[in-house]
Structure 1
Amino acid sequence: MTASGTAITNLMHSADPTALATKYLEESRAALQNTNATIRIVGFIATDDKPSVTYANATRKTFNTTGFKYELKKVARLDLETEILAANEDTSIHGIFIYFPVFNNQEDNYLRNLVTYTKDIEAGGSYWTRKMSANDRSATPGEIDKKALVPCTPLAIVKILDDLGEYKNIKNSRVTIFNRSEVIGRPLAMMLSNDGADVLSFDVNGPLRFEAGRPVETSVDRSKALSSSDFVITGVPSSSFHKIRNEELKSNCIAVNFASIPNFVDERPSRAKLFVPRVGPMTVAMCMRNSIRLYENFHQ
């Protein structure tokens, strides 16, 4: 039985992203062998934030085990801009990671967009997010054989839902997302709405509805959104977030948590027919997929 099959059969209520990611890691390993090249990745970490450090070390280990040449560099945050610019110009480097938060303010967006789009593994810069907003699937104009990159965590969530047999139901479903960051929540809302979902997006500034990739104003509140949603996806990295109670959920919904801390009160919400407690392993697998796509599109 495949890794995906095992995850579905044995964990009908709570899905294991590590098992689901296995086939994508194997696909990346095979693709690396086919390229017959050494794909060099550099990751910059300029923080002691524990979730970021844990994610950085896990990413380095998995990339190197799969066959990439991955270097994790600890740098002072005031040196990060210089390091990014140097890596952009270094032709021996094929992909760049930055582990956020760094300053935990708008300067992080500046740093994210400083990475050249030809090395932006996480596809969080404006070049790739603009393409997603326009539903443009080509990496560069006029080259339809070169596919655009999709931000890693939104892509990971879609892949998990697809492998669990649920993404086929996304069209005409209502989805509520708690997170509207430029690198995860907003791209995910655009992706799902482009695929036909009615998406309600919440952050500290209130709700928006996404229709065909575009945000529009809405007055819907949390209670109505949750009670009517077929999919609830959360990624609020704050202990001050009012965790979602089981009774707030629609019966037989799909619930996904991608935050570093639980966003649901119950470990396994009983009203959800399927619960995904984390997506990290699949995110790493999608980062590998993007790394190979960058190499094939821009560095061969």
Structure 2
Amino acid sequence: MSSGKGLLLKADPIAATFHSEVQNSLGANKAQVGRAPKLVGILSTSSKPSRTYAEFTRRQCESLEFEFVLKETGAALNRDGEGGPELGEGEGVEEAIMEANTDDSVDGIMVYFPIFGPQQVWTRDSEPRYHLQILGIGSLSAANCLPYKDVEGLHAKFHYNLYHNIRFISPSSLSAPASTGASAGLTGDEAENDTPPLGMVKSILPCTPLAIVKCLEYAGVYNKILPYGDRAYGKIVVVVNRSEVVGRPLAALLANDGARVFSVDIDSIYEYSKRPSASVESDSSVSSTRKYHPRHIVRPHPKGFDTLKACLAVADVVVSAVPNPMYKITTGWLKDGCICVNVAAEKNFEKDVRDKASLYIPAVGKVTILMLLRNLLRLHQYNSVSPPTPMTLAAEVSASQIAQ
């Protein structure tokens, strides 16, 4: 800090804290079932960052002695004359998911996004803008991947839990037939700490948003003195990108932990928060024993926060995940001493970001991989406690086929 610049914090020391956890859990898992969990990665896009991530997944799995198989379909084969121009983005991905669903040797399934490719528009006027269109980005996994093999946490059961702040679930709920009813579980407000009560397990969360939360915990954004479920209380966070894979679930996770989150996308700004509305806050008749909602509420931005610049001026933390090399957050708009986290393969912050930021995390990929493997180990453990029955498997596969 003597140089007058903020600290550059790479993902390596953060990942190291989870590396040993994953190794120890893997050892216990092998001793119990006699083999390492098997992960199938499905690549059906021509996106170079997606292929890089797939190869990085392979290396990490091999180094930790997980079994990993990369299944390439569609546009992923359109290189070196292998596939031909007729193979499109996303072609064959549903079939690959269904095949892995019915393969008893497969313990986890992941799909590399974006499948249909981003379409971006950049204008450098009064405010940087971007346009991200990824059709059905989470639907292929959510509709087709069985919940007890979904290491990405994109299944409807996991999404329901995330957005309703349900932290702990019964392992049998993962192998129960799909239903439209509420998920039986324990919310963050009801839990005393992050240790699951007897007979319950942690719900599966999306890997990248979870990795970002772990980075922020490491950076001291979370106050461990505060009650579990409110440890981000008092922090204002800006999340740029509201994708179903990163931006939206991240905003919900942070808000459910007590933060006030401004979710910024191309045409809108929303506030995610457990805080009561302004009218409720000013009502003296409201009981002081329940000031916060049990889960986050999404509202249009409040007055005075209708631009990214206005939101950044008050943000303690800024997370950006815009897949466009031309998109840059203006350093001058940042609050002095804020924490900035870049999630995109392209750098979303200007080179002088540390002139304003007290801490800059340029990438989270190494932590994301470990969150994915941790999810894989947890699912494998949950299934050993409450294995799916043939009838359950048939019901889930039938439901996913109907969803198509």
> Are residues 1:297 and 2:359 paired?
no
Q: How does 1:199-214 map to 2 (within 5 A)?
A: 199-212=261-274, 213-214=296-297
Distance 1:47 1:197, change over 3 A: same
Worse-matched range after superposition: 266-275 or 256-265: 266-275
Query: Retained in 1: the 8 A contact 2:137–2:245?
Result: no
Pick the aligned partner of 2:345 from 260, 265, 271: 260
Shift of 1:20: 1.5
After superposition, give the CA deviation of every residue in 1:121-152 in whole Å (9 maximum; x if it has no partner).
11123221210111111243368522101111
Shift of 1:12: 6.5
Which has the larger helix fraction? 1
Worse-matched range after superposition: 203-212 or 50-59: 203-212
Task: Give secondary structure in 2 for the equivalent of 1:137.
Answer: strand
Distance 1:222 1:27 in 2: 38
Shift of 1:157: 0.9
Shift of 1:245: 1.6
Q: Residue in 2 aligned with 1:97?
A: 110
Q: Residue in 2 aligned with 1:174?
A: 236
Query: Retained in 1: the 8 A contact 2:42–2:70?
Result: yes
Shift of 1:175: 0.6
Q: Residue in 2 aligned with 1:17?
A: 11
For 1:159, the aligned partner's letter is K
Distance 1:124 1:218 in 2: 27
Q: How does 1:1-300 map to 2 (within 5 A)?
A: 13-36=7-30, 37-76=35-74, 77-104=90-117, 105-113=134-142, 114-139=144-169, 140=173, 141=184, 144-168=199-223, 170-212=232-274, 213-218=296-301, 220=305, 221-241=307-327, 243-266=328-351, 268-299=353-384
Distance 1:188 1:107, change over 3 A: closer
Distance 2:243 2:102 in 1: 28
Query: Retained in 2: the 8 A contact 1:42–1:72?
Result: yes
After superposition, give the CA deviation of every residue in 1:240-270 in whole Å (9 maximum; x if it has no partner).
53x1121100001111110110111125431
Distance 2:315 2:270 in 1: 15
Shift of 1:185: 0.8
After superposition, give the CA deviation of every residue in 1:13-67 in whole Å (9 maximum; x if it has no partner).
0111022202312211111111123201100101221100001100111012112
Query: Retained in 2: the 8 A contact 1:14–1:268?
Result: no
Task: Give secondary structure in 2 for the equivalent of 1:160.
Answer: helix
Query: Retained in 1: the 8 A contact 2:141–2:154?
Result: yes
Query: Retained in 2: the 8 A contact 1:173–1:198?
Result: yes
* Aligned pairs, number: 289
Greater gyration radius: 2
Query: Retained in 2: the 8 A contact 1:156–1:282?
Result: yes
Distance 2:73 2:199 in 1: 38
Query: Retained in 2: the 8 A contact 1:179–1:203?
Result: yes
Shift of 1:299: 4.3
Gaps of 5+ in 1: 1-10
Q: Residue in 2 aligned with 1:4?
A: none
Give every structure 1 segment of 4 or more consecutive aligned residues whose post-TM-superposition deviation is greater than 6 Å. none
Q: Residue in 1 aligned with 2:85?
A: none
For 2:156, the aligned partner's letter is S
Query: Retained in 1: the 8 A contact 2:138–2:154?
Result: no
Worse-matched range after superposition: 130-139 or 263-272: 263-272
Task: Give secondary structure in 1 for the equivalent of 2:92.
Answer: helix
After superposition, give the CA deviation of every residue in 1:137-188 in whole Å (9 maximum; x if it has no partner).
1243368522101111111111112122232273111111101111211111
Distance 1:46 1:131, change over 3 A: same
Distance 1:267 1:12, change over 3 A: closer
Task: Give secondary structure in 2 for the equivalent of 1:35.
Answer: helix
For 1:173, the aligned partner's letter is K
Shift of 1:281: 0.4
For 2:106, the aligned partner's letter is I
